[in-house]
Chains A and B, each alone.
Chain A
Amino acid sequence: MNLTRGLILLIVTISLVGLHEREKPVKKTLIESLQTDSLRYDMYLLENELGQAEGYTAEIFTPVCHTNECYPVYIDFYWDLLGNYQKYEVPEGEMLTKLDHIPFDDDDHEKLQEILSNERSLLKEYKIEELVGSTQTIAANGVDAVTGATLKTIKNEVIDGAVYSCYTLWHLAHGEMVDKIKAHTEELYSKVLLVQFLESGHYPYQYWAIEKVIEKNLYKDNTLSTAMLDVLLGDNIFLGSYLIKVLPMEIFSTLDRQIWLWETLEKSPYRLQMKILDKFNTLKLYPEIQSKLLLGMKEGNPAQQKMIYSVLKNQLNLSKSQQYQLLDYIKDGIWEEGLKELLLNQEKLDKRIKKQLNTK
């Protein structure tokens, strides 16, 4: 199992690396062109050699202006299929510059990448006028400088001498183009895309796909439900916790699936284990799982025992041998009162056990 998991991880890593690192995608399809006074771009869908959609790019030209001075910016943005900003590139022969036309150095590029990657940047909240001081400060600091009272709060979110560029570019990376991307991906929607998303290891895709599969009741499809369940085996505890919460009961109506869930529990981190146990509480359990719970009751730490007990106490159709197992636990002093109650609540309590309990 570990090997499979490793393999999945490897594939995921390779495909993610592909998304970020590949110089030239196999196929690039123009999906939108825009030309206004303040912005020009061509937006493309990128596909890999298998014909799978991989992301979007836009080749952008925009003038960055303040008062009467403008300078041209040529830049290519890359997004994933849901419009999450990934990176930028400057086309050959072009460069980004700060005030007085000083070209960006490596640190500036690194900083810009960091700024644009921050979806929750303070730049979102501010108007451009608030970022740069009055005309007085322009004379002193040049056009594109951070000045005035906003300096402290916003300083980490901009590059000194390139406030306008940062502001303009951030709003392009997280603005209307993102909506266009999202809309376009909705059109691409297919079972293949969903599987691709579920297996991507890229959590925004995975959340999106899980939501779609559940919303549209697609989990009856075995390929989709398997791909979706495999997400539980991944490294993202938050995604796993979310998935276990939203998975519909029907998905676990077969014995195989319940056993699969139990085996998943056994290799999950503690936090997910507790959530999976909680999930079992909503299911109609097969005797095999009931037995596994009984075993877990003996081995767990007090918090786990408590959680297992909360599942067990709803199991009122335990077999005779399971009932005897409970009796043994009671004799060993494990969760005594609760287990006694559980036995007494059984629909078909073994007569000899009943007698033993009553004479105690």
Chain B
Amino acid sequence: MKRILWMFGLLLAFTQINLQAQDRLLVEAESFENTGGWVIDQQSFDVLYSSYLMAHGMGRVVEDASTKVNFEKGGTYHMWVRTKDWAPYPTGPGAFKLAINEKEIDQVFGQSGIVDWDWYYAGEVEMKQGENSLTAKDLSGFNGRFDAIYFSTSEADKPTNDNEKLLTLRKELLGLTDGPEEIGKFDLVVVGGGMAGTTAAISAARMGLKVALVQNRPVLGGNNSSEIRVHLMGRVDVNHYPKLGRIVRELDNGDPGNGNPDEKRYGDDRKEQIVKAEPNISLHLNTHVYEVEMDGNSIKAVIGRDIATNQEYRFEGTYFSDCTGDGTLGFLAGAEYRMGRESKEETGESLAAETADDFTLGTSNLWASVEKDYSSDFPETPWALPFSDEYHIDEHQSDWQWETGFGNFNTIYEAEQIRDHNLRAIYGNWSYLKNQKGDKYKNHELAWVSYIGGKRESRRLMGDHVLTQMDIQDGVMYPDGSVTATWTIDLHFPDAKNSKYFEGEEFFAATKHIRVKPYTIPYRCLYSRNIDNLYMAGRNISTTHVAFGSTRVMRTCGMMGEAVGYAAYVAKRNNASPREVYTRHLEEFMGIIESPLNIYTYPTLPNK
């Protein structure tokens, strides 16, 4: 036995030496200098630890992506591509090819019939010393994708496919081992730039805090951005404290409804300009936070990675706010959280499930077509969900009902599968309408299909108070009640007819609105009960699943952000924890909620 171990050790040492002897190079797809018509998708970062490029052309071939790669040594390399067949039924549409120095490689990728990400051997390629060009050519416009390309002089050097081990390899080969670039120390670091995160950053900045706002997309607004296009709901005009909601109003670009084909209606620019006008906000778009440094029960810093360049950044902070929606930051920090439904027994809520389970509300990928004065074709989509005269969705534009999840998929770890399922529903149905209902749809053309999933429910981080159905329906006014909510308890479930035809893989929702009177969410739902400097705002605050059904709409989430900004200010001023703002400085906090002017005397404007 000893001898075997000894030999194994020798073998291992030999392999190590061997590995170091070869030349190798990793090219991340998302880092292509020219992404052409391909899009950067970071939604599976928490699974893959990387973004990837995707040819989202709604059925039309997208423009090539290309980049330059420098090789220290020229010669023959073995090449692997990390990709997948996203719709293996039995083979998907996501075909693409690669070219090196303008020379196309024969192999077609993306149609292996295998849904898992893996490295595909692409054979031997000749690389020049110095600059080489690399081109990705989409062949279908139907969401072909690749994560990275790997070159090695050794054929035995196929890279690991284990996502965590691959992260180590990525860091090594991308030269990220020296650690992240320091961005600085902030009073408040807000992670997530949806409505809640954006308002939290603005609110804190206007109170004079130094704020970092870190968002993992190129735009602010989250579900209300032009990338997802969900309209703002919840009222701001019946607040118990009427001065809350003013930042939400500033960001509100009017109501274009859900999935409006005109992206401008969602006001990405408005949001960004408002944030950029704040001298106290350091805005970091395209940065996904995936690591956290702790100091006991406090977060010391977060580390984010640029979703395109992979450059890492470190943000140190006194306070942090988890506005990620998924509760990503809280999860990384070890905050207590719940996900799924509690049981009636646990919460005492009449609307709770009989037994606890993993059920969450789903994710929407909205889409819209527009009518043109000419007719157009759309291909058959055998890999998509099938429809017939018996069942199809006879609509030229989507609304909130287009939704996948419902416990069939995990909103966080199966975000890619959920999005892809939504795409298969959209494309399958659209293909049916275009090819079988030509009279009605021949002049309609897909104008927009979201490739970013609009999530409704993920983790809920637990605070000192957990908002319940009873709090809502009894209209309990706690001393720290600060954010007024008005939306019904709106818990979606699969539409019955959709379930009949797609049981276990539903993509269409129904709901029952349980009406509520305006009620006010206590401050204690907005900070973590076990992480000492962590706030939260948005859908991931401390509520039960049932109560979340009402708090989750975006104007309400935006007001939570405003409140968190004020609370962080009070905490900073008093050198207190979020909890101590409640136990020791509540009056001061509630004073600001009532009106920021209560503590902040603005200078009078000079006479002209």
Contact = CB atoms under 8 A, between A and B. Distances in A.
B388 A236 contact: yes
B36 interface: no
A302 interface: yes
Contacts of A203: 388-390
Given A269-B382, A270-B382, A301-B114, A236 B389 contact: yes
B388 A238 contact: yes
Given A238-B501, A269-B382, A301 B390 contact: no
A177 B382 CA distance: 41
Contact of B114 (A235, A269, A273, A302): A302
Interface stretch (B88-96, B149-157, B243-251, B524-532): B88-96
Interface residues of A, number: 15
B113 A301 contact: yes
Interface string A298-326: 00111110000000000000000000000
A187 to B, nearest CB: 27
A237 B114 contact: no
Q: What are the 9 A-B residue pairs with the smallest beta carbon separation, nearest first?
A: A301-B113, A236-B388, A237-B386, A270-B89, A301-B90, A203-B390, A238-B390, A301-B88, A236-B390
B391 interface: yes
A309 B501 CA distance: 26
Contacts of A236: 388-390
Interface string B493-510: 000000001000000000
Contacts of A303: 88, 90, 113
Interface string B375-390: 0000000110011111
Interface of B: 85, 88-91, 112-114, 382-383, 386-391, 501
A237 B383 CA distance: 13
A271 interface: yes
A30 to B, nearest CB: 32
Given A238-B391, A270-B90, 16 more contacts: A235-B388, A236-B388, A237-B387, A238-B388, A238-B390, A239-B390, A269-B382, A271-B386, A301-B88, A301-B91, A301-B114, A302-B114, A303-B90, A303-B113, A304-B90, A304-B113
Interface in A242-270: 269-270
A237 B390 CA distance: 9
Interface in A184-230: 203
B45 to A, nearest CB: 26
18 contacts: A203-B389, A203-B390, A236-B388, A236-B389, A236-B390, A237-B386, A237-B387, A238-B390, A238-B501, A269-B382, A269-B386, A273-B90, A301-B90, A301-B91, A302-B88, A302-B114, A304-B90, A304-B113
Give the one of A203, A269, A302 with max B CB within 10 A.
Answer: A302
Contacts of B390: 203, 236, 238-239
Contacts of B114: 301-302
Give the one of A203, A236, A238, A300 with max B CB within 10 A.
Answer: A238
Nearest to B114: A302
Contacts of B391: 238
Contacts of B90: 270, 273, 300-301, 303-304
A269 B91 CA distance: 12
Give the one of B89, B91, B382 with max A CB within 10 A.
Answer: B89
B113 A302 contact: yes
A232 to B, nearest CB: 13
Give the one of A203, A271, A273, A301 with max B CB within 10 A.
Answer: A301
Contacts of B112: 301
A303 B115 CA distance: 9
Contacts of B383: 270
A270 B391 CA distance: 18
B297 to A, nearest CB: 45
A302 B386 CA distance: 21
Contacts of A238: 388, 390-391, 501
B522 to A, nearest CB: 33
Given A270-B90, A270-B382, A301-B88, A239 B113 contact: no
Contacts of B501: 238
A6 to B, nearest CB: 16
Contact of B388 (A239, A300, A301, A304): A239
A237 B113 contact: no
B78 to A, nearest CB: 21
Contacts of A269: 382, 386
Contacts of B88: 301-303
Contacts of A235: 388-389
A236 B501 CA distance: 12
Interface string A261-305: 000000001110100000000000000000000000000111110
Contacts of B113: 300-304
B382 A237 contact: no
Give the one of B90, B114, B391, B501 with max A CB within 10 A.
Answer: B90
A237 B388 contact: yes
A273 B113 CA distance: 15
